[in-house]
Structure 1
Amino acid sequence: MPQRLHLVFGGELVDPAKTVFKDTDAIDIVGMFPDYASAHEAWKAAAHRTVDDAHMRYFISHIHRMHEDADDDAENEA
């Protein structure tokens, strides 16, 4: 079974209606997780810590999809 890595990260946004970080050097990297369930738990904990700040947002990035896309691109080039 292939790994399904997920990255949880977040930080302060310029505008709560957009996904542009105010300071990319200050992005909080929560961690890399082996599955969505554990990534979701980490995301909930991080989001809960900052619930009172409308400009703070946390995200789950599906790293395994990036890897699958790269594999598809390599196959298409061959």
Structure 2
Amino acid sequence: MKTKLLILMAVGSLTACANTLQGAVKDGSTNLKTASDWVENNRDEIDAAAAQTGEWLKKGGNLIGRGMEKTGEVLQEITR
């Protein structure tokens, strides 16, 4: 009797795990489809964001360059 009960409990647990995994896969594929559809329908927004990001990277690079230049000038003054 105990053996049958243990087998029944094991089958129930495995069924629950399989259903959970199946649900996770379904949710993942739905999210991927939604994201793909959004990308297709909002290409101009993505391009604008990419352009803005490029501008920010240029400005950040310029700031770093100027900071390095000033640091070099200060170090030269210190070593004189």
Is the pair's TM-score, using the shorter chain for normalization, greater than 0.5? no
Higher relative contact order (CA closer than 8 Å, sequence separation 6+): 1
Question: Normalising by the residue count of structure 2, what TM-score does the alignment of the two structures yield?
Answer: 0.27
Larger radius of gyration between Structure 1 and Structure 2: 2
Greater helix content: 2
Give me the TM-score of the superposition, normalised by structure 1. 0.27
Bigger strand fraction:
1
